[in-house]
Amino acid sequence: MMKKEISIYFILFAIASLTGGVLFGILGAFQFIIPSFFNGIPFIENRPLHVSLVIAWIFMSSVGGIYYYVSKYCNVSIYSLKLVKVHLWVFIIIGLLVVGSYLSGKFGGREYWEFPPVFAIPIILSWIMFGYNFFRTVFGKKDPWPVYIWMWGTGIFFFLFTYMESNLWVFPYFRDNLVRDLTVQWKAGGSLVGSWNMLIYGTAIFLMDRIKNDHTISTSTLAFVMYFLGLINLIFNWAHHIYIVPNALWIRYIAYGISMTELIILGKIIWNWKKNLTKSRQDFHLLAVRFIVASDVWILLNLVLAISLSIPAVNIFTHGTHLTVAHAMGSTIGINTMILIASCLFMIPDITGKQFSKGQALSISIGFWIMNIVLLFFWLALIFAGILKGYLVIQDKLTFQEIMLQVRPYLAVVAVTGTIIFGGILMVFLPALKMIRQYIFAR
């Protein structure tokens, strides 16, 4: 049997995680509008299953991509293939333990990492191992690092520290004071998202550099300026999540000021829009490029939303409403998932040495349009739900149940459109899974 490229297994488990994650998300969305819907898995189990599996999709697909791209395209060999295999097994075993703990109702952690905190130990060790292997590999590279290697390295480094930080609550000094506890939790959480964004955006830059064969994308001064701006935001802008928490006032001013530097990124996107659109049209027939172009559109939309939500005068109305969910979903599906699908669609034919057939390409194309068009309605429904809830809460005339009754029609749209998006994801991934299966079982 021929030796298989290990990254394909990362992609396989990533797709399985995404499928499971979206399914649990749909179940949860229907439980919002019909409380007795599928009692077998209650909402308190559904929500962490949805979130953790989607996070697993993000990590497994981006990590699998990084291992593959570094070894194949960066003129270096992976320092230790054995460590890559161990990494894969740790991911799979921890993933199964986390799912098992949720399904048996065993929690104990925090929002987004609800599993018992003891699981954090192997997760931290696996990231130390990943970082060691990655840096030992890229330090062997003789020529200057393109920006995507800086971004991947930064993502690994900061993920490790911010993930450890997110577990500081196990110490009474952090846990006992609620204000400190929430502040540190959201500091870690905000920077952690910034860390995985580094892994994902680095992947997007790598793909555009490769596909267009234009290395200025990843080596220009502007590319590095934008990278450092992203890093500043990763470090300092997390507090817009917690303007309402009564910590020191200056924390909020710093976050507000730094958040507004995202206007520079927004300005750059708008400035380059026409030029990028013309270039992208030429390559739109390439499946991976199509998903990257879609992510560009979603970056623009979500950046406008994110900047608006970072203004305290807007945030006071929107905090704790579905507008925050719109931002999270828009970023996770519209930006992260689009880029990571592009990466999978680039890697799978590259690894297997086969191109998608016409029928498979058509299925992926239809899935692409379904995902993007329906995601717009899904996103807008969450925004309208958030605006309505924010307005009704500040008006202070209705009870929580009465407010949720008013919001419910929008949540029904979210549940239905979410189901259709799942259909789109399946149309994209079924041909990909077929190719992976043929590759894995080929002699």
Binding site for other proteins (CB under 8 A): 31-32, 35, 42-44, 47-48, 107-111, 114, 144, 150, 157-158, 161, 165, 168, 172, 174-180, 182-184, 186-187, 221, 224-225, 228, 231-232, 235-236, 241-251, 253, 256, 311-314, 316, 319-322, 325, 393-394, 396, 400
Q: Which is nearer to other proteins, 43 or 119 (CB)?
A: 43
Select from 366, 289, 287, 294 the least CA-distant residue to 330. Answer: 294
Residue among 312, 194, 303, 308 at smallest CA distance from 252: 312
Classify 87 as helix, strand or coil.
helix
Shortest distance (Å) from residue 251 CB to other proteins: 5
Residue 233 structure tokens? 């935001």
Is residue 407 within 8 Å of residue 417, measured between CB atoms? Answer: no
CB of 321 to other proteins, least distance (A): 8
Q: Least Å distance between CB 140 and other proteins?
A: 16
Q: In 104-146, which residue ranges form alpha helices assigned H by DSSP?
A: 120-138
Q: Which residue, 246 or 267, is less far from other proteins as judged by CB?
A: 246
Residue 257 vs 423, nearer CB to other proteins = 257
Pick the closer one to other proteins by CB: 253 or 273.
Answer: 253
Q: Provide, rounded to whole angstroms, the least separation between the CB of residue 284 and other proteins.
A: 32
Instruction: Name the CA radius of gyration of the chain, rounded.
Output: 21
210 or 240: whose CB is closer to other proteins?
Answer: 240
Least distance from other proteins to the Cβ atom of residue 343, Å: 25
Question: Shortest distance, CB of residue 384 to other proteins, whole angstroms?
Answer: 14
CA 48 to chain centre: 15
SS3 state at 94: helix
User: HEC string of 27-39?
Assistant: HHHHHHHCCCCCC
Least separation, in Å, of the C-beta of 305 and other proteins?
Answer: 16
Pick 146 or 367: Cβ nearer other proteins: 146
Three-state SS for 220?
Answer: coil
Nearer to other proteins, 232 or 264 (CB): 232
| Cβ-proximal residues to 271 (8 Å cutoff; 6+ apart), any chain | none
Report yes or no: 292 and 338 within 8 Å, Cβ to Cβ: yes
Q: Distance between CA atoms of 42 and 35, rounded to whole angstroms?
A: 9
